[in-house]
A and B are shown apart, each in its own frame.
Chain A
Amino acid sequence: MIISLKKIYAKNENIKAYLLLFPALMLVILAMASPMLLTFLTSFHTQVSMMEIDTTLTIDRYKDFFNKPVYTTLLGRSLKISFFVTLVTLITTYPLAYYIAFYVKKNKMLWIVLMTLPFWTSYLLRVFSWKVILGHKGVVNSALMAVGMIEEPLGFLIYSQTAVVLTLAHAWAAFAILPLYVSLDKIDKSLLEASYDLGNSKFQTFWRVTFPLSLPGVIGAILIIFIPTVGDYVTPQLVGGTDGRMLSNMIQALFGRANNFPLGAASAVIMLLSVSSVALIVTYITRKVSLRMS
């Protein structure tokens, strides 16, 4: 019996592999999947009083969410802000990744390290320094006033959706630079030479060869920026003001002061479902486009 078990173990690579994967999978199941399922379940409950939750299943929390305009507004705004963060980050980092991949010859690694280093330094402090830069008495305003270019502080700089987009585009830059650089660097350079030999201009070559081949990196960057930023809490709290409040600030209130776990859970479920479906659609479209282009 034991011998035959040993034989099965020796022969079966899957068993060996899954024994090694066991801790990692258990971690995901116990610390992520089951809490998320429980949250999903809680979203069908009702908060009766501070300590008491009625566990009769109901879809009222979802009705609450969609009936009160504040929730749908915040959801829409969160998706909109993340969309613009993703777009701005992609557009501003693409030329950089392109430059490192095709023009930098020596010390490419150093460039990459320097471009990603700020990402490792305290997220909280980076967001905070944007508050200092954009604030009413902030760096931009005080500098402009000191040189006499403006007489009163520019009020529109901080506490707006633009401030949130700018700050997040700065905070998440590394997540776009890396996948873009990796996909651009992988491109077989002889393809580009072939394109020139066939009479394409530099611009045509970029548009017909380089860009379509870099789309996997673009998709990677979209997924890794769009989904997490929807749930960002710190940035809207520090630089968003009332105009820049996002759904996560509401979720925090529901799990904190407002103490309405079921409605908070429903909001979290809706956030996750909507952001994943948007991300799936965007990925699908990008894939289609890349197939048509190449």
Chain B
Amino acid sequence: MYKKNNILFLYSILYFAFLYIPVMLLPVFSFNDAIHMVFPLKGFTLKWYDQMIHASRLHQALFNSIKVGVIASIFSTLIALLAAKAFTKYKLRLRQLSYGAILLPFVIPEIIIAVSLIVLWTGMGLQLGLIPVTLSHILFCTPFCMLVLISRMEGFDKNLEEAAMDLGENAWGTFWRVTFPLVLPAIVASLLLSFVISFDEFILAFFLTSNDQTLPLYMWGQLRFPKKLPHVLALGAVIIVATSIIVMLSYWLRNLGNPSGKKNNIGGI
């Protein structure tokens, strides 16, 4: 609505640099031919990437992270899909309360959720490990998925569903032939984003696992050893590029054929 503001523009560019420089630093040093992260740069090398590819404990951790991430994203997206349907289709009693309760795990400090699950798990005499980690990730991702799905479901025309009903489809047919295709991009986005959240998550995994490491835990363990650091940087660079692509893809999906015609569909991040 306003025309120009050079000061604000300059500020935005500076803030942009503040946001990105720390993130870009790791990839830069991952190609640097030196163990310590110090300027000036020494020379270009790919040996840290070679070391990364041959680190066997890293492979195990990567596999664990993918396993936890896939299960967590599928379950949280399913649970969130049902909940999003309830909130967008029905006027229900105690709506605010239920809505708040489901969003709560997103706001409560993760460490509180982590220690509570330790108390529950050990109290039941169960072994800590990837199972409680996955459970905590489902809990943590569900609010997120729900926000992503609701913002899409609110956007589309309810008449489409009613029209399908009038044309003789039952509830299941309506869902399968009308609702699902319309919501599909958001479902995929929700799967991708919750996978990224779970893949990156540190605190819950740190508290709730015993011997099985996830990728962030592996990196945490390596940060203490200066000699191991460069290959963590190489790993970090790969993670940064991969997550950026996944996130970009999911943003694109969320706006794909958005029936509401709103371009800025960012509800709930």
Q: Do A102 and B1 touch across chains, with their CB atoms under 8 A apart?
A: yes
Q: How extensive is the interface on chain B, given as a class?
A: 35 or more
**B179 at the binding interface (Cβ < 8 Å):** no
Contacts A25-B98, A39-B115, A95-B11; is A120 near B196 (CB within 8 Å)?
yes
The docked-state distance in angstroms from the alpha carbon of A265 to that of B116 is 8
**B247 at the binding interface (Cβ < 8 Å):** yes
- Specify which of B9, B86, B136, B269 is in contact with A178 (CB 8 Å cutoff): B269
The 8 A CB mask of A94-109 against B (1 = contact, 0 = none) is: 0110111011000011
Interface residues of A in 69-107 (CB under 8 A from B): 92-93, 95-96, 98-100, 102-103
Q: B79 to chain A: closest CB distance in Å?
A: 5
**B4 at the binding interface (Cβ < 8 Å):** yes
**B54 at the binding interface (Cβ < 8 Å):** no
**A118 at the binding interface (Cβ < 8 Å):** yes
Mostly helix, strand, loop or mixed at chain A's interface? helix
The docked-state distance in angstroms from the alpha carbon of A185 to that of B19 is 22
Q: Do A31 and B135 touch across chains, with their CB atoms under 8 A apart?
A: yes
Q: Do A124 and B220 touch across chains, with their CB atoms under 8 A apart?
A: yes
Chain B residues whose CB sits within 8 angstroms of the CB of A92 once the complex forms: 15
Q: Count the A residues whose beta carbon is within 8 Å of the partner chain — how many?
A: 86
Q: Do A120 and B239 touch across chains, with their CB atoms under 8 A apart?
A: no
Interface residues of B in 60-93 (CB under 8 A from A): 78-80, 82-83, 85-87, 89-93
**B25 at the binding interface (Cβ < 8 Å):** yes
Q: Do B15 and A96 touch across chains, with their CB atoms under 8 A apart?
A: yes
Chain A residues whose CB sits within 8 angstroms of the CB of B225 once the complex forms: none
The docked-state distance in angstroms from the alpha carbon of A138 to that of B37 is 7
Chain B residues whose CB sits within 8 angstroms of the CB of A109 once the complex forms: 251, 255, 263-264, 266
Chain A residues whose CB sits within 8 angstroms of the CB of B142 once the complex forms: 24, 27
- Specify which of A34, A238, A268 is in contact with B115 (CB 8 Å cutoff): A268
Selected interface stretch from B43-51, B101-109, B153-161, B183-191: B101-109
The 8 A CB mask of B127-149 against A (1 = contact, 0 = none) is: 00000000110110010001000
Chain A residues whose CB sits within 8 angstroms of the CB of B109 once the complex forms: 227-228, 230-232, 248, 271-272, 275
Chain B residues whose CB sits within 8 angstroms of the CB of A132 once the complex forms: 25, 29, 37
**B39 at the binding interface (Cβ < 8 Å):** yes
**A199 at the binding interface (Cβ < 8 Å):** no
Chain B residues whose CB sits within 8 angstroms of the CB of A114 once the complex forms: 16
Contacts A17-B92, A18-B86, A27-B142; is A121 near B23 (CB within 8 Å)?
yes
The docked-state distance in angstroms from the alpha carbon of A192 to that of B240 is 41
Chain B residues whose CB sits within 8 angstroms of the CB of A240 once the complex forms: none
Q: Do B200 and A122 touch across chains, with their CB atoms under 8 A apart?
A: yes
Q: A264 to chain B: closest CB distance in Å?
A: 6
The 8 A CB mask of B16-38 against A (1 = contact, 0 = none) is: 10111111011001000000111
The chain B residues found within 8 Å of chain A, CB to CB, are 1-5, 8-9, 11-12, 15-16, 18-23, 25-26, 29, 36-40, 78-80, 82-83, 85-87, 89-93, 98, 101-102, 104-105, 107-113, 115-120, 123, 135-136, 138-139, 142, 146, 196, 200, 202-203, 206-207, 216, 219-220, 223, 236, 239-240, 243-244, 247-248, 251, 255, 263-264, 266, 269
The chain A residues found within 8 Å of chain B, CB to CB, are 13-14, 16-18, 20-25, 27-28, 31-32, 34-36, 38-39, 42, 92-93, 95-96, 98-100, 102-103, 108-109, 112-118, 120-126, 128-130, 132-133, 137-139, 142-143, 146, 170, 173-174, 178, 182, 185, 189, 192, 223-224, 227-228, 230-234, 238, 248, 251-252, 255, 261, 264-265, 268, 271-272, 275
Closest 8 A-B residue pairs measured CB to CB? A231-B109, A35-B116, A20-B86, A17-B90, A35-B120, A17-B92, A24-B83, A231-B111
